[in-house]
């Protein structure tokens, strides 16, 4: 990579980080600064309830079907199976630690079997 391209990408990274950081801080700060004077409209409160499941599953699923961002013809079976198993563990234990540990063990086991 030539130096100009490196500098451009470094500028891009800093701009990205600082913008996201500022926006995120304002999202966190605005309601606290405006105290209880700010009453969110009911529809927005309702919509925000669905942000965590909608966004998080939208982030998770491509990671199971795509390898390195490119769509694969065969879905990554060990990953999908391990993810389903981990979801069951998460449901039973409600523990991030157990879900991560047992999910990783399941993935390694399934990958070894698939070989």
Partner 1 sequence: MPKISNARNELINGIRAITPMLMGIAPFGMVCGAAAVSTGLTPWQAFTMSWVIFAGSSQIAAMQLFASGAPLLIIISTAAVINLRFLMYSASIAPHFRRLNGRWHVLLAYLVTDQAYAQSIAHYLENKENEDLHWYFLGIAGALWVCWQISTVIGILLGSLTPQSWSLDFIMPLTFIAMVVPLLSTRAMLLAAVAGGSASVLLTLPLKLNLIAAALIGIAAGLLAEKLGQAK
Q: Do the beta carbons of residue 106 and residue 82 sit within 8 Å?
A: yes
Q: Is 105 in the site for partner 1 (CB under 8 A)?
A: no
Q: Do the beta carbons of residue 75 and residue 64 sit within 8 Å?
A: yes
Q: Do the beta carbons of residue 92 and residue 113 sit within 8 Å?
A: no
Q: Is 3 in the site for partner 1 (CB under 8 A)?
A: no
Q: Is 114 in the site for partner 1 (CB under 8 A)?
A: no
Helix, strand, coil shares, percent, the chain, to 5: 80, 5, 15
Q: Is 96 in the site for partner 1 (CB under 8 A)?
A: yes
As measured in angstroms, the least distance from the Cβ of 82 to partner 1 is 7
Residue 18 φ/ψ, nearest 5 degrees: -70, -40
Q: Is 38 in the site for partner 1 (CB under 8 A)?
A: yes
Give, as ranges, the residues between 57 and 76 that touch partner 1 (CB under 8 A).
57-65, 69
Give, as ranges, the residues between 5 and 34 that touch partner 1 (CB under 8 A).
9-10, 12-21, 23-25, 27-34
Cα separation, 17 vs 24, in Å, equals 10
Residues that bind partner 1 (CB under 8 A): 9-10, 12-21, 23-25, 27-36, 38, 40, 45-65, 69, 79, 82-83, 86-87, 90-91, 94-97, 99-100, 103-104, 107-108, 111
């Amino acid at each position: 990579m030539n130096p100009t391209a490196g500098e451009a990408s470094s500028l891009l990274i800093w701009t990205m980080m600082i913008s996201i950081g500022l926006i995120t801080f304002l999202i966190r700060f605005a309601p606290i600064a405006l105290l209880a004077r700010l009453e969110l409209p009911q529809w927005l409160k309702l919509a925000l309830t669905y942000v965590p499941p909608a966004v998080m599953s939208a982030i998770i699923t491509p990671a199971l079907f795509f390898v390195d961002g490119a769509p694969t013809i065969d879905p990554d079976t060990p990953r999908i199976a391990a993810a389903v198993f981990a979801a069951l563990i998460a449901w039973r234990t409600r523990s991030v630690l157990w879900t991560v540990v047992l999910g990783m063990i399941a993935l390694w086991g399934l990958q070894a079997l698939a070989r």
